[in-house]
Homo-oligomer: A and B are copies of this chain.
Amino acid sequence: MARYERIASDLRDAIVGGDYPIGAQLPSEAELALRYSAARGTVRQAVALLAAEGLVGSRQGARRIVLGSERSQSFAELHSFAQWARSMGYRAGGTVLSSLRRPCSPSEAVRLSLEPGEEVLAVLRLRRLDGEPVLVERTVYAGWIASAVERLDPDCESVTQELYESVGLVFAYGEHLIDAVAAGSEDARLLGVRRGSPLLRQRRVTTTQEGRPVECSDDRYRAGSVTFSIRNSTSANPLVRRAGD
């Protein structure tokens, strides 16, 4: 673990633990540098990490202040339903309802950087939280990873983890589009809600470390089961609003 990560982790623990309540000031960079026997640049890397997490805010000339005290977790939680569920203390379940190879559609070709008509694997999964169905996942995998996906246990808990362990595949980058839609008849039947009732939809495309697209997915959460959360500031902010499509 890098030095700046250690410092960041230390400060994060102090904030989460209440040593620095919301609104309080953090020690100055100079003082932290002294305390950890590190250069000021290293301390700055540490607090930049906390700022990116939305835990602290900073303005030139003034001491850094604590904005929040909730631990926010990383990419894995957003990408992997199972890992998120586990970290929250829930029991995640899942079932593959269908799995089918077919030629990709034009829009899938664009999103997955494939040739038109190239073969993809379409999988429909129902995910459960403590036994309750909360998520319908319609995922399309690029052909080159299809066979590894097909070898997975249909009731496999964490697809992400299994793919890492079996073929060393790492999901590294993702783009996510979030909006609300009405439940279709299949959604309604699977989630146990009425047709037309509100669902939170997350469409995503995930790529490897090299930037190669692996899968795109249309995930629909039962209303009330999941909320997305983000902290931002004038300087840093990755979440953007878009016109509907």
Query: Which residues of chain A have a CB within 8 Å of any CB of chain B?
Result: 22-23, 52-54, 57, 59, 62, 65-68, 72-78, 84, 88, 90, 113, 170-182, 196-201, 207, 209-212, 221, 223-245
Contact = CB atoms under 8 A, between A and B. Distances in A.
Given A223-B182, A238-B72, A177 B228 contact: yes
Nearest to A64: B211
B234 A77 contact: no
Contacts of A244: 223-227
Contacts of A180: 180-181, 198-201, 221, 223
A239 B176 contact: yes
Contacts of A65: 210-211
Given A54-B173, A77-B240, A88-B243, 13 more contacts: A57-B172, A57-B173, A68-B175, A172-B233, A173-B231, A173-B232, A178-B200, A179-B223, A180-B221, A182-B198, A196-B198, A200-B200, A230-B230
The oligomer's copy count stands at 2
A244 B197 CA distance: 16
A77 B241 CA distance: 7
Given A77-B240, A88-B243, A237-B75, A229 B175 contact: yes
A57 B211 CA distance: 8
Given A75-B233, A90-B243, A238-B72, A227 B179 contact: yes
Contact of A240 (B72, B199, B233, B235): B72
B223 A241 contact: no
A137 B100 CA distance: 43
A22 B173 CA distance: 13
Q: Which of A170, A176, A182, A229 has the most CB of B within 10 A?
A: A229
A119 to B, nearest CB: 21
A44 to B, nearest CB: 11
A244 B226 CA distance: 4
